[in-house]
Structure 1
Amino acid sequence: MRAVVIRRYGVLPVVEEVAAPEVEPGGVVLKVEATGLCRSDWHGWQGHDPDIVLPHVPGHELAGTIAAVGAGVSGWAVGDRVTSPFICACGTCEQCLAGNQQVCLRQLQPGFHYWGSFAEYVALPFAAVNLVRLPDALDFGTAAGLGCRFATSFRAVRQVGRVAAGEDVVIFGCGGVGLSAVMIASALGARVIAVDTNPAALELARSYGAAEVVLSSSNVVPELLELTDGGAQVTMDALGSAAIVQSALTALRPRGRHIQVGLLPGGVQLDVGRLIGQELEWLGSHGMPAHAYPEMLALVASGNLAPDKLITRTITLDETPTALAALTNGTPPGVTVITP
């Protein structure tokens, strides 16, 4: 199969002919119909993820058709249209048995723990707990984004952040995760304020439901405090920046909630005194398990959520290495989908 292969961290990957994955007992192999280009892929390419072993094929947002079914798998057949969370849970550990597959103790992530979906085929383990059947009306490009950015934002906003109608919610970073969060929080009835350095991204945020958009600067907090009459109930770092974290915590009103989704490979220093004194909540959120997809898919089917509108660019496998490298200069507005 053809795949995007990383052979050295930070060096432009190339599209090569490599061996296709073999189906394992309990798993399936998918023909990749669409896969998303995500900032997490850039972090992996830069060497920020200790689980990656070179040479490596990135890619973890995916949708496709089942090409092979492993021994012991029931209820799934070749040709079925599916997607999967980017966290493939084992289904049997303590956390999985409690329904928390997003923090599975033996999780396997395509594009990180093993070769991913920037390829014509990808393997998915533990099919019984990780496959999500796609409605016929949902196209593969839209479905690919559900596996990471949109699903991650849905769980972060609705389940972890507990966003409610009427609350002020400040979203920092308007890439795929941030714009998804804008759309979801707005659909829940929150008043959303989007913050980004890119005016084009802010225009997209406004079109997806943001009530206010703010061009980011080193002095953004006073403007946010004024817009929220003293502080937001919820803030979210959808990019991953130590500076954003500080701004997000300072922009909260007492007993506010901060949701951290963006990765922080360089670490961060928190004002713990403020965290304690204002009784703020710091909430980490990491993906969403397959069993939680039906609520999200129902909202998509009803038209209350429209993740297809987030897609701003579709590229080929051959264009992917350059697009991955371009993330060094910032995340482009919207979602980029790759069609292998």
Structure 2
Amino acid sequence: MLKSVGLIVLFAIVVTWIYQFMLPPLQRPCGLPGGPPLTAPRVKLRDGRFLAYKEIGVPKHNAKNNIIFVHGFGNSRHDVVIAAHLPPKVIEELGLYIVSFDRPGYGESDPDPTRTLKSMALDIEELADQLQLGDRFYLVGFSMGGQTVWGSLKYIPHRLAGAALLAPVVNYWWSGFPANISKEAFEKQPSLDQWAQRVAHHLPWLTYWWNTQKLFPGSSVAAGKAILSQHDLELIPKIVSLGTHHRGHGMQQGEFESLHRDMMIGFGSWEFSPMDLTDPFANKQGLVHLWQGNEDTLVPVSMQRCIAERLSWIKYHEIEGAGHLFPFAEGMAEAILRSLLLSHK
């Protein structure tokens, strides 16, 4: 009897230890003891959370075009790819007012443990309202920031004057793709990334443990060891020249509510598929643009081609020889913005 009780107690201790080991550490909120300092302006949202933001361009009251930019995986409000190498004369000519913000859990924005595609769209809408950007504004998302653009096209299309997706990360479980295309694209990834995405999709509660344990490698992208294209490698010095003092700023509150939450949402079970969206600008008062490099090693061009073919209302731009970081190339930011702002006028 005592032996059985002892085994039960031992089993309970082991299970408790494993459970605690798998739990992510507590977030380090900005502005609180032990947390990073607050340095950015922030807006308070409907649920009490704060979003930190950054303004670029002409003064808001002089702006002709208001743009909200959504940063990518592991980045922050400082990583505004559409402002990279953008000449001041272009900013003045187009009357650009660009707002970049830290997505929940990144930088100096509060985490949102209940974050969804819809809640992110509502965050965008509320940010625009509090900054008085008007009834309609432009939205641009890079890489994992593309999930917020897709969500906004679904939930707040009436607030958008136009949108651009730059190398948006795809979810291999979206419906509407030919099975052979999604399967082939998924299997072209390194095996460690295939497993990391399977875990994020099927066992999201294991995402933190999977990407932090030492038994086998987790996501190469989360670890900063992704394989990049030759074009991307050539762009690295230009990106470094823009400044590295903000490197790591995005994850300063912890990686779970930033990187791992991104993976859980980006590769999780979506409540809709972008392949089923309808044209938000059937009145021809705006356009959705999708930009993709055909040598992107992180996001498969084959999947983007399927999206462009299925959603014929999207203006698709495929860049020959370009990788994932193409927005940083000389002249690309200007080309993206001119296309977004002028093509339907």
TM over 0.5, shorter chain: no
TM-score w.r.t. the length of structure 2 is 0.27
Larger Rg: 2
